[in-house]
């Protein structure tokens, strides 16, 4: 077929490796060689089991459980997935013989998958997994089975999964504890039991989850006819249609009891007149420009996903979805949000990440006092007869958590009195704040003092961990010197044209600074591990950064010295025409210096292994460095001496006309 013809274009000697549990796949493609992956050996299974159960063999012997444990491992049949899942199950058990014997003697080990089941190919694997499922408390069983609504190998957004569980009432509500917190506890418990795994994929700041396909088969089998990935029946309660199946979607009468619909395809229109019990609706990636007005026929939906869709506007009838808790518009082409949004009084999650087309939000969002997550607040001028969103509407949104981005602060759209009304410092659950002062072509240009007044009024809560400020014309605000920001770990300043210093933030671990021409001092940042500096020509002091491991210094004509940084391992300096001295750095392993014409000597650096120095016209001497194995010196015409470097294996010297003394290098 098409795939085969593409693979035939490989170069001579190319190999194609295909993995499968199904031997028919190998036969069907005519494989030249088939390697059967062996089961785990007995000792490998035993060690994996102990690791997952968080037990030692001594513990089991002491409690007379070793023989029972080995019987359990033997029943796992050398299958890694079963061993680790059952091992994780035993982690939850006390060291009592009765509890362990109950697992070892369970009749579930003898269970056989019905031959008619689509998951019958996993018959030898599932008994051990069913034991783990059977041990779950009832609330976790429902949450695990619900995961079968997603396609196999699907990356499930953690936040989205929790909000879908919430929409279906699968999360037990506890007084004084947010259901989001409880939902995360559920996920962590499923991860500990090896029934779901966290992947390396990140969706903005959130993580993703995935079910192993065998566990997906188990969840699908247990879910039975209530969960469908094809056309709905009278028994269907949760419907997921992707690809061709979604293209053939129609709102059939048979599906009128459906609680969940996940559609993912290039659909241009959808009708919702029949779905009076619908609670979760995902139209992720759909191509329609607008939602149909029939959306108002849905009286119960709590979760609506329009992410990565072409939807540009929401109908005014959106305000009738009074039970809606989650509205995800991330990466959609949405251009404006109507004033009826303010009627969604139960909304908790409003996803606006990646909504680059969003230009207008109508007044009314201040009514959404139950909002937890609100990724982007866009301050807007009025549009015709419709009033734009005013920053003062943030006043009562005190349940906000996570990160909040506020855009549109420049251009005369915000008055200081309104910024004070926002009471940003009272949003105690926020851990990240971004403030953007960008100005459009037709906007009024703010003065530096006007923007300084705004930033003073927008004091973030003291518990934030991340702060980003962009396109700001004023100097640093008074609150920036406040020692109460003891949890601030990440700071980013971009195009802050009058910002002068970053000093004394004891908790800061990451600092990114771009295009801040008046910045002259970075000092007393004892926990800083990552520092990035671009286009800061006025910088003259970088000091007291004891934890920093890597540093790239951009061109600056004012920087004269680099003080000792005891844990710095990598240093690159370019175009610092006034730099005269680089202090001894005991942990430095890699050094690159380019275009520093006032640098006269390289001090002894005992751990330095690689040094590359170019176009440093005043450099006269390279001192002894006992660990140096590679030295390159190019275009340093005043260099006269290279001291004895006993470990040197590579020496390159070019265009150094004054060099008259090179000590004996025994390792060369």
> Beta 206-210 vs 197-203: how paired, if at all?
antiparallel
Tell me how far apart the alpha carbons of residues 234 and 567 are, in angstroms, rounded to a whole number: 66
Task: Measure the CA dihedral 57/60/65/68, to 10°.
Answer: -30
| Helix axes 80-91 and 126-134, enclosed angle (nearest 10) | 20
Q: State the pLDDT at residue 269.
A: 63
Q: State the pLDDT at residue 509.
A: 94
Q: State the pLDDT at residue 253.
A: 43
CA-nearest of 314, 251, 318 to 278 is: 251
* CB contact set of 223 (below 8 Å; sequence gap of 6+): 145, 146, 148, 149, 238
DSSP annotation string for 110-173: G----TTSTTGGGTTTHHHHHHHHHTS-HHHHHHHHHGGGSPTT--EEHHHHHHHHHHTT-SPP
Tell me how far apart the alpha carbons of residues 360 and 235 are, in angstroms, rounded to a whole number: 43
| Helix axes 42-53 and 80-91, enclosed angle (nearest 10) | 30
Q: State the pLDDT at residue 122.
A: 52
Place of tokens 């520092």: 531
CA 478 to chain centre: 32
* CB contact set of 610 (below 8 Å; sequence gap of 6+): 589, 590, 591, 628, 629, 630
User: Do residues 216 and 118 lie in contact, with contact meaning Cβ atoms separated by under 8 Å?
Assistant: no
Strands lying side by side in the sheet with 197-203: 156-157, 206-210, 197-203
Q: Which domains does the chain have, with CATH numbers?
A: 42-119 (no CATH), 136-222 (1.10.10.10)
Tell me how far apart the alpha carbons of residues 369 and 359 are, in angstroms, rounded to a whole number: 23
Tell me how far apart the alpha carbons of residues 542 and 559 are, in angstroms, rounded to a whole number: 8
Tell me how far apart the alpha carbons of residues 432 and 50 are, in angstroms, rounded to a whole number: 40
Q: What is the pTM of this model?
A: 0.82
Tell me how far apart the alpha carbons of residues 509 and 506 are, in angstroms, rounded to a whole number: 9
Q: Which residue positions in the chain have pLDDT lower than 70?
A: 1-10, 20-30, 113-125, 243-256, 265-271, 385, 440-443, 661-668
Measured from the Cβ of residue 1, the count of other Cβ atoms closer than 10 Å reads 5
CA 263 to chain centre: 25
Helix, strand or coil, per DSSP, at residue 266? coil
């Amino acid at each position: 077929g098409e795939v085969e013809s593409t693979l035939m274009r490989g170069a001579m000697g190319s190999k194609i490796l295909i993995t499968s549990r199904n031997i028919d796949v190998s036969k069907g493609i005519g494989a030249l060689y088939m390697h059967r992956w062996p089961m785990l050996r007995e000792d490998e299974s035993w060690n994996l089991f102990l690791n997952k159960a968080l037990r030692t063999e001594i513990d089991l012997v002491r409690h007379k459980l070793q023989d029972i444990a080995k019987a359990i491992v033997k029943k796992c049949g050398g299958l890694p997935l079963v061993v680790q899942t059952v091992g994780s199950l035993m982690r939850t058990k006390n060291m009592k013989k009765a509890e362990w014997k109950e697992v070892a003697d369970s009749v579930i080990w003898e269970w056989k998958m019905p031959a008619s089941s689509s998951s019958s190919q996993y018959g030898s694997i599932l008994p051990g997994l069913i034991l783990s499922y059977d041990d779950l408390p009832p609330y976790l069983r429902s949450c695990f089975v619900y995961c079968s609504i997603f396609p196999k190998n699907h990356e499930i957004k953690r936040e989205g999964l929790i909000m879908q569980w919430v929409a279906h009432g699968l999360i037990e509500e506890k007084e004084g504890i947010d259901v989001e917190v409880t939902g995360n506890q559920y996920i962590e418990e499923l991860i500990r039991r090896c029934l779901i795994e966290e992947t390396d994929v990140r969706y903005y700041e959130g993580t993703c989850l995935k079910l192993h396909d065998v566990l997906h088969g188990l969840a699908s089998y247990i879910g039975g006819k209530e969960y469908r990935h094809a056309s709905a029946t009278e028994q269907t309660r949760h419907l997921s249609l992707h690809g061709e199946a979604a293209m053939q979607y129609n709102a059939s009468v048979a599906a009128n009891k459906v609680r969940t619909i996940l559609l993912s395809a290039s659909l241009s229109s959808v009708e919702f007149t029949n779905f009076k019990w619908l609670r979760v609706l995902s139209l992720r990636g759909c191509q329609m420009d607008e939602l149909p007005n029939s959306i108002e026929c849905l009286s119960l939906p709590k979760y609506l996903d329009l992410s990565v869709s072409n939807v540009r506007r929401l109908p005014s009838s959106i305000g009738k979805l009074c039970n809606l808790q989650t509205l995800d518009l991330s990466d959609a082409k949405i251009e404006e949000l109507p004033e009826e949004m303010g009627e969604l009084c139960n909304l908790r999650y409003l996803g606006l990440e990646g909504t680059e087309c969003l230009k207008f939000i109508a007044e009314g969002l201040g009514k959404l006092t139950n909002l937890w997550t609100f990724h982007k607040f866009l301050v807007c001028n009025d549009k015709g007869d419709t009033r734009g969103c005013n920053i003062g509407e943030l006043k009562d949104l005190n349940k906000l958590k996570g990160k909040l981005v506020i855009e549109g602060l420049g251009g005369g759209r915000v008055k200081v009195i309104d910024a004070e009304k926002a009471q940003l410092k009272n949003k105690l659950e926020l851990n990240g704040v971004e403030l953007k002062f960008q100005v459009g072509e037709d906007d009024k240009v703010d003065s530096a003092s006007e923007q300084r007044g705004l930033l003073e009024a927008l004091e973030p809560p003291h518990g934030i961990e991340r702060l980003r400020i962009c396109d700001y014309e004023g100097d640093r605000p008074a609150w920036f010197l406040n020692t109460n920001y003891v949890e601030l770990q990440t700071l980013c300043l971009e195009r802050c044209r009058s910002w002068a210093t970053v000093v004394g933030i004891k908790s800061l671990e990451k600092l990114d600074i771009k295009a801040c021409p008046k910045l002259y001092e970075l000092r007393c940042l004892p926990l800083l591990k990552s520092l990035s500096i671009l286009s800061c020509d006025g910088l003259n002091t970088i000091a007291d950064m004891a934890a920093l491991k890597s540093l790239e210094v951009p061109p600056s004509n004012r920087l004269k010295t680099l003080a000792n940084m005891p844990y710095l391992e990598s240093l690159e300096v370019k175009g610092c025409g006034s730099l005269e001295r680089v202090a001894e750095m005991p942990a430095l392993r890699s050094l690159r210096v380019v275009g520093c014409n006032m640098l006269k000597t390289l001090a002894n650096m005992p751990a330095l292994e690689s040094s590359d120095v170019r176009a440093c016209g005043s450099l006269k001497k390279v001192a002894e460095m006992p660990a140096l194995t590679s030295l390159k010196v190019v275009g340093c015409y005043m260099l006269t001496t290279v001291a004895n470097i006993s470990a040197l294996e590579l020496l390159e010297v070019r265009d150094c006309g004054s060099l008259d003394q090179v000590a004996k290098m025994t390792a060369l």
